[in-house]
Amino acid sequence: MLGQWARMTGNRHGRPRSWIYAGVFLGVFVLGGAGLVIGSMPLFWTCLVVLVVLVPVGKLIGVMDDTVMAPTDPEEPGHG
């Protein structure tokens, strides 16, 4: 089953804005983790707030609309 974006464009890798969103989310997550490790609580809490805000932003931009589930071919090695 292909996501809406993949069905419309034939592109199975998602929209650029979804990749940008994922990169920002990952970067903020890693930065918050680093803040926790080095003991910078303001950095950690700021990143946590940004992550909480990013969740509804992802919903608004439709980041899950271009989720791709690859078709399963029983003839491929490892299936069945």
- Can you tell me the distance from the alpha carbon of 25 to that of 5, in angstroms, rounded to the nearest whole number? 21
The pLDDT score that the predictor gives to residue 70 is: 60
19 lies in a domain?
Answer: yes
In-domain check, residue 70: no
pLDDT in tens, 24-46: 999 999 999 999 999 999 999 99
d(C-alpha 61, C-alpha 38), whole Å: 33
Residue 24 belongs to domain spanning: 4-60
Q: For position 68, what pLDDT does the model report?
A: 61
**Is residue 30 in a domain?**
yes
Residues of the chain with pLDDT under 70: 1-12, 67-80
Q: What is the pLDDT of residue 79?
A: 55
Residue 18 lies in a domain: yes
Total domains in the fold of the chain: 1
- Does 68 reside within a domain? no
- The continuous run of DSSP H or E covering 35 comes out as helix 16-38
Q: Give the global pTM.
A: 0.70
Does residue 26 lie in a domain region? yes
* Dihedral sign of CA atoms 43, 44, 49, 55 in order: positive
